[in-house]
């Protein structure tokens, strides 16, 4: 067995020190070690975007990162956005515009949107579609997701 390594990762503002095997994926670290199951795992090889989190402020596929690569880093997951009783404006826009059905892609969609809203001007639908093009959704046809993001951009809200 490979020797475990000690890492410290700040997730949603809380510093976690854990011993992990070098091969442990960041997605599994979040879900199984920390119990933060909001981050979903779909394809497990970087295609679907369901596992997207923010790593030091930028979207990253947590199924393509090892937990040890996040040592000393800041990770934000969907749990940082809001709660069932207190949705963030982005989550509320998804709800209002029917931007989810089964919800499996939604955590990754939301975290990608946070990156887009923080770091890109999103001047129109083409920008929104391009920004979300790495996240797959089998249910919505994307139009309602674009509508939700468009509404957030128009509202002026920024995360
Ligand atoms: S589970 Fe990571 S990209 Fe699909
Ligand atoms: S809402 Fe079902 S995959 Fe997107």
- Encode pLDDT of 36-78 as tens digits: 999 999 999 999 999 999 999 999 999 999 999 999 999 999 9
Closest ligand to residue 64's CA: 1
In percent, the amount of the chain with pLDDT more than 90 equals 97
**What pLDDT does 159 receive?**
95
Average pLDDT of the segment spanning 143-151: 98
Q: 50 CB less than 6 Å from ligand 1?
A: yes
- 1 pLDDT exceeds 80? no
Residue nearest to atom 4 of ligand 2 (CA): 137
**What pLDDT does 2 receive?**
79
Token pair 């955590």 is found at 107
pTM of structure = 0.97
Residue 106 dihedral angles phi and psi, to the nearest 5°: -60, -45
Q: For 126, left (φ over 0), alpha (ψ -120 to 50), or beta?
A: alpha
What is the distance in angstroms between the CA of the first residue and the CA of the last residue of the chain? 42
Distance of CA 59 from the midpoint of ligand 2 (Å): 19
- 122 pLDDT exceeds 70? yes
In 3D space, the residue among 80, 104, 85, 58 whose CA is nearest the CA of residue 14 turns out to be 80
Cα 19 from chain centre: 24
Distance of CA 15 from the midpoint of ligand 2 (Å): 31
């Amino acid at each position: 067995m490979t020797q475990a390594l000690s890492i410290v990762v700040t997730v949603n503002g809380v510093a976690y020190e854990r011993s992990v095997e070098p091969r442990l994926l960041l997605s599994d670290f979040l879900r199984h070690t920390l119990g933060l199951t909001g981050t979903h795992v779909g394809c497990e090889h970087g295609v679907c975007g369901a596992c997207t989190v923010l790593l030091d402020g930028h979207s990253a596929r947590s199924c393509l990162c090892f937990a040890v690569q996040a040592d000393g880093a800041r990770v934000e997951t969907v749990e940082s956005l809001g709660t069932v009783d207190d949705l963030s404006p982005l989550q509320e826009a998804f709800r209002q515009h029917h931007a989810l059905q089964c919800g499996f892609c939604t955590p990754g969609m939301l975290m990608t949107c946070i990156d887009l809203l923080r770091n890109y001007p999103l001047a129109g639908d083409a920008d929104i579609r391009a920004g979300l093009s790495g996240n797959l959704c089998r249910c919505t046809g994307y139009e309602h997701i674009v509508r939700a993001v468009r509404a957030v951009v128009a509202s002026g809200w920024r995360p």
